[in-house]
């Protein structure tokens, strides 16, 4: 470098060599990036942007925004504590009439009902009533139809739901809601999701620990056997890995039943049948079976690169077999353990199919509720909020995995 500072090296056409090299380097980088670009764009357009839009769904009032404009305006001056005035009632009546013509009144009712249980039937009947009315006054008609229309909480709900954005879905995902004085917990007969997240972590944790306990010795066995035998035993690990998830779940579905092979065996041995299908136990066993190769393989590939001479050296220096294993061999396997366990834990958080088929109602994890709110209840906002929280948790763990293990180290088979 010192020489270059004094008299720059030139190429044959008189350009500085350094500039030339830099240009070559730049064009190489650009070409390499150009190769990556198609896939990057594909992932961006069909994955990252859709994930972002899902996040947007979780904070927007799709069912009501723009359909309760009159009401929203009429309630802008309201104190939030008393029964609103005639203007508010008239505005709501007008909005409901318009919505009824578009056949959208049902959606509005449904949206309000998320936050105010029981509102749906009140909305349906009042919509029918006001649709027949030409002019007001409406307030008495509403209050006469049902005393619920005098409840400020219902009106607060309507006001919140008529804006563009809402925090309802996110709050609801952690069992909170807007009360008269700020945030409060939802009533215990509606509180579900904190439990569900806790359960998801618990199941993922138990499965991770089990796969480690079962997988570590087998990885050690495979890594220390002569190649031909190890390859043979490897089939036992790899065949499940290559077999369809549905097949493995089907297998457990068949195995765990009350009259299934496992219970037949139990009856022969201990003369008793156990309840296994549609239980937490069944879910964890099936998930452990499916995840075992994911924990085992990274540990195995680390172990394979530990020279056996290390332990032999420790032994020859006088260490006992267990001491040598624990102090010399085991610490070297820790990166593999971290990689395998973290991967399994992350993948476990997203389980859906297996718990849905072999678990009971109290064993369903977050993904089940995302699917349930998407496909059965058709509450897209709730599904999106539940999914967004799970996504954030997963991304944090993925980031940790990247820091700890490095995505490059991920190996398949």
Residue (88 or 358) nearer to other proteins, CB: 358
Residue (80 or 406) nearer to other proteins, CB: 406
Residue (255 or 314) nearer to other proteins, CB: 255
Residue (79 or 408) nearer to other proteins, CB: 408
Query: DSSP assignment of 84-145, as one string?
Result: --HHHHHHHHHHHHHHHHTT-HHHHHHHHHHHSTTHHHHHHHHHHHHHH-SS---HHHHHHH
Q: Please, are residues 18 and 9 in contact by the beta-carbon 8 Å criterion?
A: yes
Contact partners, residue 76, CB within 8 Å, separation at least 6:
none
From the CB of 86, what's the least distance to other proteins, in Å?
27
- Any contact of residue 53 with other proteins (CB under 8 A)? yes
Show contacts with other proteins in window 298-357 (CB under 8 A): 321, 346-347, 349-350, 352-353, 357
- Any contact of residue 268 with other proteins (CB under 8 A)? no
Q: Of the listed pieces 73-81, 158-166, 177-185, 243-251, which binds other proteins according to CB under 8 A?
A: 243-251
- Any contact of residue 266 with other proteins (CB under 8 A)? no
Q: Of the listed pieces 8-16, 147-155, 329-337, 384-392, which binds other proteins according to CB under 8 A?
A: 384-392
Show contacts with other proteins in window 106-125 (CB under 8 A): 106-107, 110, 113, 117-118, 120-121, 124
Our measurement of the distance from residue 342's CA atom to the centroid of its chain's CA atoms, rounded to an integer in Å, reads 15
Q: Please, are residues 110 and 64 in contact by the beta-carbon 8 Å criterion?
A: no
Show contacts with other proteins in window 66-95 (CB under 8 A): none
Q: Is the dihedral of CA 188, 194, 198, 199 positive or negative?
A: positive
Q: HSE on the CB side for 339, CA within 13 Å?
A: 23
Site string for other proteins, 137-166 (x = CB under 8 A): ------------------------------
Closest by alpha carbon to 177, among 157, 152, 204? 157
Residue (140 or 195) nearer to other proteins, CB: 195
Q: Please, are residues 342 and 295 in contact by the beta-carbon 8 Å criterion?
A: no
For tokens 């509606």, name the residue.
190
From the CB of 109, what's the least distance to other proteins, in Å?
9
For residue 265 the two structure tokens come to 């065996």
Residue (124 or 327) nearer to other proteins, CB: 124
């Amino acid at each position: 470098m010192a020489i270059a500072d004094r008299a720059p090296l030139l190429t044959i056409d008189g350009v500085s060599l350094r500039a030339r090299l830099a240009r070559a380097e730049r064009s190489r980088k650009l070409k390499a990036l150009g190769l990556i670009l198609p896939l990057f764009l594909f992932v961006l357009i069909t994955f990252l942007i859709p994930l972002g839009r899902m996040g947007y769904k979780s904070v927007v009032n799709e069912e009501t925004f723009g359909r309760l404009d009159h009401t929203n305006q009429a309630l802008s001056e309201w104190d939030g504590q008393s029964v609103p005035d005639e203007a508010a009632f008239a505005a709501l009546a007008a909005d409901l009439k318009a919505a009824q013509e578009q056949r959208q009144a049902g959606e509005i009712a449904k949206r309000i009902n998320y936050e105010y249980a029981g509102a749906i039937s009140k909305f349906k009947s009042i919509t029918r009533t006001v649709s027949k009315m030409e002019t007001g006054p409406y307030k008495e008609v509403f209050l006469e139809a049902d005393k619920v229309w005098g409840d400020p909480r219902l009106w607060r709900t309507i006001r919140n739901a008529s804006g563009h954005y809402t925090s309802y879905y996110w709050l609801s995902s952690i069992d909170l809601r807007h009360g008269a004085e700020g945030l409060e917990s939802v009533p215990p007969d509606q509180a579900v999701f904190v439990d569900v997240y806790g359960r998801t972590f618990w199941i993922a944790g138990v499965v991770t620990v089990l796969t480690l306990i079962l997988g570590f010795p087998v990885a050690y066995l495979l890594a220390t056997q002569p190649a031909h035998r190890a390859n043979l035993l490897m089939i036992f690990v790899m065949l499940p890995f290559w077999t369809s998830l549905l097949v493995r779940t089907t297998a457990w579905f068949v195995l765990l039943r009350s009259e299934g092979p496992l219970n037949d065996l139990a009856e022969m041995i201990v003369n008793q049948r156990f309840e296994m299908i549609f239980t937490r136990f069944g879910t964890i066993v099936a998930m452990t079976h499916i995840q075992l190769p994911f924990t085992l393989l990274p540990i195995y590939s680390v172990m394979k690169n530990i020279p056996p001479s290390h332990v032999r050296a420790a032994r020859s220096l006088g260490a006992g077999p267990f001491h040598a294993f624990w102090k010399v061999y085991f610490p070297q396997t820790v990166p593999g353990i971290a990689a395998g366990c973290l991967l399994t834990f992350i993948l476990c958080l997203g389980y859906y199919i297996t718990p849905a088929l072999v678990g009971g109602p109290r064993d369903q994890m977050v993904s089940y509720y995302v699917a349930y709110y998407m496909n059965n209840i058709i509450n897209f906002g709730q599904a999106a909020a539940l999914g967004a929280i799970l996504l954030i948790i997963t991304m944090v763990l993925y980031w940790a995995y990247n820091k700890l293990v490095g995505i490059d180290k991920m190996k398949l088979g």
